[in-house]
Structure 1
Amino acid sequence: MARSRDSFNKKEMEKKRAKKKQEKEERKEERKNDAKKGKSLEDMMAYIDADGNIVSTPPDPSTMVEVNLEDIQIGVPKQAEPSPEDLIRSGIISFMNEAKGFGFIRDLQSQESIFVHVNEMQTRLVENDKVNFEVVSGPKGYSAINVRKMK
C-alpha cells in the first residue's frame, strides 16, 4: 500500500483555506440579501431644518421665508468713493530721513503714521512741521502725496 504524499499539516491548511472560502461566500450572500435595492426617492431624501440638522421630514411651507435674489451679495460689497474733502488731511511730520529720502507723517485725525517720500513734497520739510497732504493706498499701506507745509 502506498503512503499518502500529503502531510498532516498540508491537509489542515487546505481545510482552513476551504473554511475561509466558505465563510466569505456566506458573508457575500448575507450582504446580497440585506441590500435594499430599489429604494424610492422619498426614502432616500434628506432635509435640513432651520438649525442645520438633517431630518427625514420635509419643511413646513408656511414657515419658509421669501428671499429676493437682488438682495444677495456675493463677495465683499464695494466701498463708496471718499469725498475730496476726506482725502485732504493735516498732520505733523514725526520722522524725516533726508539722506534716504523718506519720512512719516502723524495724521492729526486718526493718529496713524503715514509714509511719505521726498518726491511727493513740494518744499523741503523737517520734523515737527505741520503739513496738509492727500492719502493714497500703496502696496505696503497708506502713502502721502501732494505734501504742503501749512501756513
Structure 2
Amino acid sequence: MGRSTETFSKKEREKKRSIKLKDKKEKAEDRKASAVKGKSLDDMMAYIDENGNITSTPPDPTKRRKIVTEDIQISVPKQAEITEQDKLRTGTVSMFNSAKGFGFIRDHVTQESIFVHVNGLTEEIRENDKVTFETEQGQKGLNAIKVKIVPK
C-alpha cells in the first residue's frame, strides 16, 4: 500500500488557512451588514471643546479665546545673564588627593560633587575646607576653578 503524500504539518497548515479565510469572509459580511451609507457631513463632523475633548456639538463662540501668534514660544527661552555673584559658588572639599593633584568639592546649594584639579587652585586646600569657587564645563562635567579657602 502506498503512503499518503500529505504530512501532518501540511494538513494543519491547510486547516489554519481555511479557518482564516472563513473568518475573513465573515468579517467582511459583518462590515457590509452594519455599514450605514449616506451619512451627511454634519453627522460625520467632530469638534474639540475648550478642554480638548472630542464632541459632536460645535464649540460655543462666546468661550473662544484670542491667541496672539507672537506669544507662542517654540524654542527654549533665553536664559538670564549670569552675574559675577551667581558664578561664585561655595562648598566643602569632600576629598582631595594632593599626591595625585585632584579631588571633589560638594556644592552647598545643589549638593552636587564638582571635580577640582590642582591647576584650578589659587591656594592649597585640604579635606573639609570651606571654599569659594567658579565652575567651567570640562570634558566629563563641571570643573571647579579659582578655588579659594573661605576665611573663618
Q: Please indicate, yes or no, whether the TM-score normalized by the shorter chain is above 0.5.
A: yes
Q: 1:32 to 1:127 in 2, by over 3 A?
A: closer
Q: 1:45 to 1:139 in 2, by over 3 A?
A: farther
Q: 1:113 to 1:64 in 2, by over 3 A?
A: same
Partner of 1:43: 43
Partner of 2:146: 146
Q: 1:132 to 1:51 in 2, by over 3 A?
A: closer
| Structure 2 CA distance for aligned equivalents of residues 128 and 55 of structure 1 | 64
What do residues 78-108 of structure 1 show as CA deviations (whole Å, max 9, x unaligned)?
Answer: 3212111110233332310123332122334
Partner of 1:63: 63
Residue 146 (structure 1) shift:
1.8
Partner of 1:116: 116
Structure 2 unaligned residues grouped into runs of 5+? 1-24
Q: Quick check: which has more Rg, 1 or 2?
A: 1
| Structure 1 CA distance for aligned equivalents of residues 70 and 127 of structure 2 | 52
Secondary structure of the residue that 2:85 maps to in structure 1? helix
Alignment of 1:121-140 (within 5 A): 121-138=121-138, 140=140
Q: TM-score, normalised by structure 1?
A: 0.63
Alignment of 1:96-107 (within 5 A): 96-107=96-107
Residue 65 (structure 1) shift:
0.9
Residue 33 (structure 1) shift:
9.2
Structure 1 unaligned residues grouped into runs of 5+? 1-23
| Structure 2 CA distance for aligned equivalents of residues 122 and 138 of structure 1 | 18
Q: 1:76 to 1:53 in 2, by over 3 A?
A: same
Partner of 1:90: 90
Calculate percent identity across the aligned residue pairs.
55
Range moving further from structure 2, 106-115 or 61-70: 106-115
Partner amino acid for 2:107? Answer: D
Partner amino acid for 1:36? Answer: K
Residue 139 (structure 1) shift:
5.6
Residue 46 (structure 1) shift:
0.2
